[in-house]
């Protein structure tokens, strides 16, 4: 499927050529709702990016760079029906009975900013305007603001929160932003959980590749090295690269290719069971020797073709271990296939699926620092801490059928739990932490590491900064 784009009377249509068919048609966006990744990839294509959009490569028709930034933070949180406060009355040292488990729960994905506050609240008129915008584009109407989404998670319920759920929420949020704040550019800040770091099909992602060829790994898209020798150095190494500047590297073995460099006797095609030379597994069954033609090359072959596969030395050889400390010295890291390839220009600049989705509408996505909830976007971790404190102490009646109603009460502005003023206070706290790290406020590297260790050991702000979260 291939796209082009036009606009007629304010409505966008896409010129679509369908795989397997000769027909070429112009389709409205509502006819392409089943292929959002294709649309996102079209808008992120470097061949169609805006002239002068030096940072994000937005499509020239959607680029919003240069407009005021509307900063939104997002995070997920779970509320459970039988959650209790840690403080409880006791009589003669005896406390009331508690449930053995915390019971069923709701997962909440919420947005927060310093203009509208927690949950991107919208009044009835604003919701109508957004739905009118969506109706013209063939999208379903929204019942509530996209700033808060619930999921009754679990097997046999609504499933589990993943990239597809979040992508729908982000798409709805961008619709609301473009109607209610058309002269702004959204900066959406998220963490690395819940599928936020998913890659598109065919992405250059070393974590989805095996060391050797074949197996269940998917085949990434091909990539072309620059013609300029100096530019090509960002792709090629010094160990006799087979790939030359200007050549295209394919990530699967094609007909006519030589066998893998580290398995020169590999058969061209899968060997039939029962032939001499096939191995047996522990059950005595013959094991098919996998052929290489049509199979993914794997990390080792790709690195070898680029001249990045370091020859064995004193018993050391390159490995594909996933857990490699990026703070190790260069000598240690140079033996890791994943680390070496991940630092190639094309791998390092591969965009996440969520990045492509957000940038396809001219906005910006930023990923939070891992292991530092005190730095999460617009102080949303502090808002979760305040909401959970109210839920446990004041609102939760421990009845599963009232769970969602009780959770919604914790997001209310009217009872002063999460008014805009408090959200802004939380956002200032987050900015203060960021300045401390950026400006070197800790007295030594040891102080920084102490903070890192402390924050890594906790999942939410109400644990590491309880007093601040609960203060009025």
| Band of pLDDT at residue 344, cut at 50, 70 and 90 | very high
Helix residue spans in 156-228 (DSSP H): 163-180
pLDDT digits (tens, 9 = 90+) for 35-76: 766 766 665 554 554 444 667 777 777 888 889 999 999 999
225: region left, alpha or beta (phi > 0 left; psi from -120 to 50 alpha): beta
Whole-number average pLDDT of the chain: 83
What's the pLDDT score for residue 242? 94
What's the pLDDT score for residue 458? 46
Cα–Cα dist 246/346, whole Å: 14
Cα–Cα dist 318/340, whole Å: 10
pLDDT digits (tens, 9 = 90+) for 212-239: 999 889 999 999 999 999 999 999 999 9
Cα–Cα dist 137/139, whole Å: 6
pLDDT digits (tens, 9 = 90+) for 352-384: 999 989 988 889 999 998 878 888 889 999 999
Nearest to 344 by CA among 469, 236, 231: 236
Q: pTM of the full predicted structure?
A: 0.79
- Report helix, strand or coil for 149: strand
What are the DSSP calls for 367-400, one per residue? Answer: EPPTT-GGGSGGGHHHHHHHHHHHIIIII--S-G
pLDDT digits (tens, 9 = 90+) for 159-184: 889 999 999 999 999 999 999 999 99
What's the pLDDT score for residue 301? 95
Cα–Cα dist 379/470, whole Å: 14
Cα torsion through 404, 409, 410, 416, rounded to 10: 170
Nearest to 115 by CA among 333, 378, 312: 378
CB-based contact 212:300 (threshold 8 Å): yes
Beta bridge mates, 2:
17
Cα–Cα dist 186/363, whole Å: 5
CB-based contact 347:431 (threshold 8 Å): no
| Band of pLDDT at residue 432, cut at 50, 70 and 90 | confident
Q: Is the pLDDT of residue 455 over 70?
A: no
CB-based contact 269:286 (threshold 8 Å): no
Q: Give the CA radius of gyration of the chain.
A: 27
């Amino acid at each position: 499927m291939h796209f082009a784009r036009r606009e007629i009377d304010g409505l966008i249509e896409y010129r679509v050529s369908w795989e397997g068919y000769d027909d070429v048609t112009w389709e409205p966006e509502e006819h392409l709702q089943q292929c959002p990744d294709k649309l996102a990839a079209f808008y992120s294509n470097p061949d169609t990016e805006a002239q002068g959009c030096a940072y994000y490569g937005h499509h020239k028709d959607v680029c919003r760079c240069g407009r005021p930034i509307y900063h939104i933070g997002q995070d997920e949180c779970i509320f459970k029906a039988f959650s209790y406060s840690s403080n409880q009355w006791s009589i003669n040292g005896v406390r009331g009975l508690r449930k053995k488990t915390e019971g069923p729960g709701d997962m909440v994905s919420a947005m927060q900013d310093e203009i509208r506050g927690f949950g991107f609240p919208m009044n009835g008129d604003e919701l109508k305007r957004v739905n009118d915008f969506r109706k013209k584009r063939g999208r379903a109407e929204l019942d509530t603001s996209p700033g808060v989404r619930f999921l009754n998670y679990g097997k046999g319920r609504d499933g589990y929160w993943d990239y597809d759920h979040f992508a729908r929420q982000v798409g709805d949020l961008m619709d609301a932003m473009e109607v209610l704040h058309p002269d702004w550019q959204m900066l959406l800040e998220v963490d690395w959980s819940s599928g936020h770091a998913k890659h598109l099909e065919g992405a250059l992602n070393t974590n989805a590749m095996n060391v050797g060829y074949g197996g269940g790994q998917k085949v990434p898209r091909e990539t072309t090295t620059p013609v300029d020798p100096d530019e090509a150095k960002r792709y090629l190494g010094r160990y006799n690269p087979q790939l030359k500047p200007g050549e295209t590297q394919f990530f699967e073995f094609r007909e006519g290719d030589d066998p893998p460099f580290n398995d020169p006797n590999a058969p061209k095609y899968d060997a039939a069971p029962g032939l001499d030379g096939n191995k047996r597994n522990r059950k005595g069954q013959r094991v098919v020797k996998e052929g290489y033609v049509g199979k993914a090359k794997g990390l080792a072959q790709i690195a070898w073709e680029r001249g990045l596969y370091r020859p064995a030395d004193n018993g050391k050889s390159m490995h594909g271990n996933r857990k490699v400390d990026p703070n190790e010295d260069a000598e240690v890291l140079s033996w890791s296939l994943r680390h070496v390839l991940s630092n190639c220009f094309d791998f390092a600049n591969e965009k996440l699926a969520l990045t492509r989705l957000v940038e396809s509408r001219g906005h910006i996505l930023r990923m939070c620092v891992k292991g530092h909830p005190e730095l999460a976007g617009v102080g949303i971790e502090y808002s979760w801490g305040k909401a959970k404190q109210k839920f446990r102490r004041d609102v939760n009646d421990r009845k599963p059928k009232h769970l969602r109603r009780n959770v919604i009460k914790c997001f209310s502005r009217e009872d002063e739990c999460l008014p805009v003023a408090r959200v802004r206070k939380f956002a200032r706290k987050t900015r203060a932490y960021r300045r401390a790290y950026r400006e070197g406020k800790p007295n030594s590297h040891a102080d920084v590491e102490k903070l890192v260790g402390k924050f890594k050991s906790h999942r939410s702000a109400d644990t590491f900064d309880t007093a601040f979260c609960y203060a009025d």
